[in-house]
Chain A
C-alpha cells in the first residue's frame, strides 16, 4: 500500500519528462531518453524497497532520544545504546539455539533428502512423480493444524523446551523443499558418469558420495541455504514448544519488546542482529537464493 503511493510520488518528482515519455513507453523502439527514465525508475524502486532495511540500521545506531525524533533526521550522532541494551538482555543463548537448530536440521535434511532425490531421479522408484507430489502436498498442510498433538507428545515425553525437538521438526518442515530441489538437480547428472561408476562396481553410498555429490554441489548449496533461512526464521513452533532453555532468536525478539519508555533503537538493533545471518547468507549467495526459492525450478 505504502509502496504504491510512494512510487507515484516518485514519478512526479521527476516532473514532466517522465510522464511524457512513459506515455509512449511501448510505442517507440528504445529512445535513449526512455532508457534513462527506466534506469532512474529502477533505482528509485530499489531504494524504496531497501529503505526500511537501511532505516532499521540507521535507527539502531542512535540514542533512544534521537531515534524517536519526529520529523525524522537521516543522520544522527552514532550511539551504541541500542546494541548495549540488546546484548545486556542475554541474547546469546537464543542466538546459539537458533544457530544449532538451523545448522543441524539443515545437515539432517540434506543427509535424508539427497538419497531420496536419487531414488526419485537417477534410479527412480515406481510412481516417483506421485511421491514427489506427496512431498509437496505436505508443505500445504498448515503447521498449526498439527501443533497441538506435537505439543502434547512433547509434554508427555519431557521434550518440551528441548532444542532437539525443534531440530526434528525443522527437518521435517524443510524436507519437501530439499527433496524437490535436489531431485531437479540430480535429474541433470549425465548418465554416462553413473554408468561408469556402475561398471567400476561402486555401491550406492560410494556413487552418491563420490560421483553424484560433486556434480550437484551447487544444488545442495541452494537447498542448504533455503533450509537454513526457513529454520532461522521460524517462530510459531519455537514459540509454542520452547520456553527458557531452548528458545530461539525469533522468540527472544518477540519477548524483547516492552513498550515502556523509548525503545526504538534497541528494537532496531535487535532486529538487525537477528536478521544479520540471513542477510549475509542471502546476499552472498543471491543466485542460490533464486534456485532455492523456486524449489529448483529456476536454475
Chain B
C-alpha cells in the first residue's frame, strides 16, 4: 500500500516543469500481488459499478448486433424474419455503397486527422512564444471546437458554402467583382467540403494538445542548446519533435477515435449524397431509413472488426505512450 502513488502512475505525459530525467514519474511497478482474498474483493468493489455498467452498455448491444447480422430481418416485412446465414455479410461485401462507405470513412478520417495535425502543429508553434495578445489568440483558436458539431456543419453548409449567398462566394464577388466564379462547393467537391469543415473543428483540438506538449518542454535544455550554437531548425528537429512525439501520437489517436465515427457533418452537409456516406451514415441509413436490420447489423459487425484491427495497433501505441514516461 505504501508505494501506491508511484505504483499507480502509468507514466503520463511529461507535466509542465517536470524533467523526465529526474525520475519524478516512477517506473510501472506491479501492484502488490499476493493479497488476501477479502482484501482483493475490497479493492474491486469501488470499480465494479462503473465496470459492469460499461460492459453491459457497450458489449451487450454489440452481441445483439452480431445475432441480428445473421438474421433476415426487415421491419417493413415482419413476416419474413428468420435465420439468414451469411447472406447479409455477402450483401455487405458485394454492395457498392457499402464498399464506398468504407473508402469514404478512410478518406475522411485520414485527411481530417492529417491536415488538422499539421495545421495544429504549425499553429501550436506559432502560439508557443510570448507575444502581445497571446491569450486572446489562443481563445480565438479554441472557438471552432466549441461550436456544437451540428451547428458548425449547418454554419459551413449554409453561411459559408451556399453558392448564392455563402461567405466564400461572397468573398469571391468582393475580390473579383460581379463576374466572379460562384462554385457550388458542396455539389462539386463534396468530400473536400466535408473535410474542410471537419479540419476547422479539429485543428484547435490538435493545437491545444500539442501546445500543452510544447509548453512542457524543459526550456533550460533548449536554452543550453541555443547557447551552444544549435540552430533553431536543429533544436526543432532533434529536441522539440522527439519531445512532441508522444503528444502527436496521443492527439492522432484521440482525433481518429472521434473523426472515424463522425455522423453529424455527413448527415448535415451532404446527407450522404454523391458518394460521401461514411460507415456510420451508411449503417444509420440502412437501419433507420431502409429498415433493413439484418444488413445494417452485418455492416456494423464489419465496421467493428475493421475498427478492432486498427484499434489493436492504436491501443498498442497508446500503451507505449502512457508507459514510456515511466522510464
The answer to whether A187 and B44 touch across the interface, beta carbons within 8 angstroms, is: no
In chain B between 280 and 327, which residues have their CB closer than 8 angstroms to a CB of chain A? 280, 283-284, 287-288, 293, 296-297, 300-301, 303-304, 307-308, 311, 314-315, 318-319, 321-322
Q: Does A91 contact B (CB under 8 A)?
A: no
Please measure, in the bound complex, the distance between the C-alpha atom of A59 and the C-alpha atom of B151, giving whole angstroms.
Answer: 14
Contact partner of B144 (CB less than 8 A), chosen from A2, A42, A49, A140, is A49
A26 touches B236 (CB 8 A): yes
Q: How far is the CA of A6 from the CA of B132 in the complex (A)?
A: 23
Partner of B138, one of A116, A271, A282, A286: A286
> Closest CB of chain A to B26's CB: distance in Å?
11
Residues of chain B from 103 to 129 with CB closer than 8 A to chain A in the complex: 115, 119, 123, 126-127, 129
> Does B102 make an interface contact (CB < 8 A)?
no
> Across the interface, do A3 and B212 meet the contact criterion of CB distance under 8 Å?
no
A-B contact count (CB 8 A): 380
A123–B143 touching, CB < 8 Å:
no
Q: Please give, as numbers and ranges, the residues of chain A lying within 8 Å of B3 by CB-CB distance.
A: 191
Taken together as a complex, chains A and B put the C-alpha atoms of A298 and B212 apart, in Å, by 7
Question: Which of A176, A254, A294 touches B150 (beta carbons < 8 Å)?
Answer: A254
> Counting CB contacts under 8 A, is A220 at the interface?
no
Residue of B nearest to A121 (CB): B8
B55-111 contacts to A, CB under 8 A, are 57-65, 68
Task: Say yes or no: A144-B280 contact (C-beta < 8 A), given A67-B165, A112-B53, A294-B209.
Answer: yes
In the complex, are the beta carbons of B146 and A138 less than 8 A apart?
A: no
A253 to B157 CA separation, bound complex (whole angstroms): 13
* B8 with A124: CB separation less than 8 A: yes
Q: Interface 1/0s, chain A 104-135, versus B by CB < 8 A?
A: 00000000110110111111111011011111
A28 to nearest B CB, angstroms?
Answer: 8
Contact A59 B142 (CB under 8 A): no
Name the distance in Å between B176's Cβ and chain A's nearest Cβ.
10
* Residue B47 at the chain A interface, CB threshold 8 Å: yes
Whether A116 contacts B200 in the complex (CB less than 8 A), given A129-B28, A133-B319, A145-B304, comes out as: no
A209 to chain B, nearest CB (A): 12
A254–B205 Cα gap in the complex (Å)? 24
Q: Name A11-66 residues within 8 Å CB distance of B.
A: 25-27, 29, 35, 38-39, 41-43, 45-47, 49-50, 52-53, 55-56, 59
Contacts of A45 in B (CB 8 A): 123, 126, 137, 141
A246–B205 CA distance with the chains assembled, in angstroms:
30
State whether B232 touches A116 (Cβ < 8 A).
no
Known contacts A235-B149, A264-B158: does B8 contact A187 (CB below 8 Å)? yes
Interface residues contributed by chain A, number (CB under 8 Å):
122
B232–A294 touching, CB < 8 Å: no
B314 touches A140 (CB 8 A): yes
In contact, A142 and B261 (Cβ under 8 angstroms): yes
- Knowing A43-B133, A115-B46 are in contact, say whether A184-B10 is a contact too (CB < 8 A): yes
Q: A46-B140, A52-B160, A144-B303 are in contact. Are A137 and B263 (CB under 8 A)?
A: no
Complex Cα spacing A185 to B165, Å: 49
Total interface residues in chain B, CB < 8 Å:
135
User: Given A35-B131, A136-B315, A275–B53 Cβ distance below 8 Å?
Assistant: no
Q: Which residue of A lies closest to B122 (CB)?
A: A45
**In the complex, which residues of chain B have a beta carbon less than 8 angstroms from the beta carbon of A175?**
50, 53-54
Kindly state whether residue B159 has any CB partner on chain A within 8 Å.
Answer: yes
User: Would B284 and A240 count as touching, CB distance under 8 A?
Assistant: yes
Central interface residue in B136, B155, B203, B307, by most chain A CB within 10 Å? B155
Q: Do B126 and A3 touch (CB < 8 A)?
A: no
Q: Render A269-288 as a binary contact track against B, CB cut-off 8 A, 1 for contact.
A: 01110110011001100100
Question: A80 in the interface, Cβ–Cβ < 8 Å?
Answer: no
Which of A53, A168, A268, A294 is B57 in contact with, Cβ under 8 Å? A168
A161 to B43, CA, bound (A): 38
Complex: A195 Cα to B5 Cα, angstroms: 12
Given A122-B8, A233-B148, check contact A286 B15 (CB 8 Å).
no
B68 to A, closest residue via Cβ:
A148
Chain A hits for B138, CB < 8 A: 46, 286
Tell me if A267 and B61 are in contact (CB < 8 A): no
B169 in contact (CB, < 8 A): yes
Residue pair B131, A146 in contact (C-beta under 8 Å): no
Partner of A115, one of B49, B63, B162: B49
Alpha-carbon distance A128/B156, docked complex (angstroms):
44
- Pick from B43, B57, B319: contact of A169, CB under 8 Å: B57
A139 to B213, CA, bound (A): 23
Report how far A129 CA is from B8 CA in the complex, Å. 9
> Binary interface profile of B, 4-46, with partner A (CB < 8 Å = 1, else 0)?
1101111011011000000000001001010100001011111
Enumerate chain B residues within 8 angstroms of A135, measured Cβ to Cβ.
Answer: 54
Residues of B within 8 Å of A118, CB to CB, are 46
Interface status of A189 (Cβ within 8 A of chain B)? yes
> Given that A144-B280, A257-B158 are known contacts, is A42 also in contact with B127, CB under 8 Å in the complex?
yes
Q: Is the CB of A172 within 8 A of B58?
A: yes
Measured CB to CB, the nearest residue on chain B to A190 is B5
Among B58, B134, B199, contact of A138 (Cβ-Cβ < 8 Å): B58
A-B contact pairs, 14 of them (CB 8 A): A43-B133, A56-B155, A113-B50, A131-B51, A137-B311, A138-B54, A142-B280, A143-B261, A146-B62, A204-B46, A278-B148, A290-B211, A290-B212, A298-B247
